[in-house]
Amino acid sequence: MKKHYLNPMTYLGALLFSALMLSGCQIESEPKSDLDQIRERGVLRVGTLNNQISYYIGPDGPAGLDYELAREFANELGVQLEMKPAYRIPSLYPALEKGEIDIIAAGLISSPERTERFRPGPAYYYVSQQVVYKKGNWRPRTLEQLVSRHDVDGEQEAKLKIVSDSHVKKTLNTLREKDHPDFVFEVDPEAEVSDLLKQVAQGQLMFTVADSVELSLSQRVYPEIAVAFELTEDQPISWFVRRSEDESLYALLIEFFGYTKQSGHLASLEEKYIGHIGSFDYVDTRAFIRALNSKLPQWAPLFKQYSDEFDWRLVAALAYQESHWNPKAKSPTGVRGMMMLTLPTAKSVGVTNRLDPQQSVRGGVEYLRRMVSRIPDSIATHEKIWFALAAYNVGYGHMMDARRLTKKQGASPDSWVEVKDRLPLLRQKKYFSQTKYGYARGDEAKNYVENIRRYYQSIIGHIDQKPIEKSDNNVDDIAVIELPDASLSNASETLPQPVSEQTQE
């Protein structure tokens, strides 16, 4: 009796165990989503380009607009960030298709050719494609003029050259097939846009095509190049992921960019990396490029010696804005020396001879340090330097007036992009009558900071930027980022207020 009772129970238990095992196997056999694989791996792999916008190694470590966004996204996922920079854009595509990287974040336009192969994320800024020429040469105003001039010359040698990975090629091919069968242009499979822009600047190439942001940055190094005409309207810049039925990574990407834009953090990052490129002074830039070669080598050791926690190139840019690297510079208003210090400011930072370049640079850096230490902690660390430079020029009190005016108008007083647009209002009685410190030449302070940022970018591009070694089709140059909070250091102690600001508060 007992025997017959145990057999059915044993059989039932075996069935139950088998069902559980089968269920477990089915669960384990289900493929993991892209998002689950990244989290299980503990690393987000991002393919990028090594340039001034996307990713580069700065004095404080990794930097770049796409790098900082990728770092934030990796933080959201709770994983480390692995940057895989490539020399050429085409190198990134097979890496994404093969699953060697999870995302391409390289400032790429969402062209039909790219969106057909990959899925674009939300647009985070816009550029237009521009035909570039060298100042002093013939300037076509439209593509038709360029083609017509080519037809008249009757030359078969290409006057316009573009890079291989460019949707511009399709535009030019369409134009040639439709209206101008004799139009000749060249596609260089090895060159990057920066290479072709340099060729135009040196007179080795008549025309090329570049996006508006890359051209603006390149003009800081090659002031001879300029826009001939706009080839396209503004086009969106996006990240790219693989096309598949799995939308886990893509969905989180949309959510991330939506939050980053709504919070104002995206605008802050864009201001940090491309906010200074809106204007261009050809004459000033040419003079600056000459000074980079003739004057900077003499003074660079001094800037490096006294820059301390600041990037020496930023200190050099500040000194150029003040005196054009002239240690004996004098002004009718009473400022003197390399850093153009007022007498009260010089005394407050221990400078006894303002015309001594060593004392001037040391004192100027100390004064800047004091300005940074007084900037409210509510302001993002990387933006404190711009507020400090504005205070260096117009006075701390007037800078704070501009912040209060910004808040009164419903914008963020902690955002440089918002405050810099309110600084010029300090000239108008309608606004300065409502402030604590009254009238100020706020427009000059805004231009002062933006000039320094442009000079700073030129120094980086002219001297320090080093392209990574060319490769065929790989992204083996891996950099695992430990997600540091790279930032400009502040003085840890509360410094006393200087006896006098550079101008009266």
Contact 7, 40 (CB under 8 A): no
Backbone angles phi, psi at 186, to 5 degrees: -115, 140
Beta bridge partners of 132: 208, 227
Backbone angles phi, psi at 130, to 5 degrees: -125, 140
The identity of residue 143, as a single letter, is L
What is the H or E stretch that residue 51 is in? none
Contacts of residues 377-380 at CB distance under 8 Å and 24 or more positions apart, as own/partner, are: 378/414, 379/414, 380/268, 380/414
The identity of residue 440, as a single letter, is A
Token output for 328 = 């004996």
CA nearest to 386, candidates 459, 451, 339, 338: 451
**How many CA atoms lie within 13 Å of 414's alpha carbon, on the beta-carbon side?**
10
Alpha-carbon span 397 to 383, nearest angstrom: 18
Contact 88, 205 (CB under 8 A): no
Alpha-carbon span 422 to 431, nearest angstrom: 10
Alpha-carbon span 489 to 277, nearest angstrom: 25
Contact 366, 485 (CB under 8 A): no
CB atoms closer than 10 angstroms to residue 24: 10
Alpha-carbon torsion, ordered 280, 281, 287, 289, to 10 deg: 10
Alpha-carbon span 328 to 299, nearest angstrom: 13
The identity of residue 369, as a single letter, is R
Q: Which of 322, 383, 450, 505 is catalytic?
A: 322
Token output for 197 = 């822009």
DSSP alpha helices (H): ranges in 44-181?
A: 65-77, 92-97, 112-117, 143-153, 168-178
Contact 289, 462 (CB under 8 A): yes
CA nearest to 104, candidates 38, 48, 35: 48
Token output for 117 = 């192969």
Alpha-carbon span 459 to 221, nearest angstrom: 8
Beta bridge partners of 129: 211
Is 322 part of the annotated catalytic residue set?
A: yes
The identity of residue 401, as a single letter, is D
Contact 236, 110 (CB under 8 A): yes
DSSP annotation of 164: S
Catalytic residues: 322
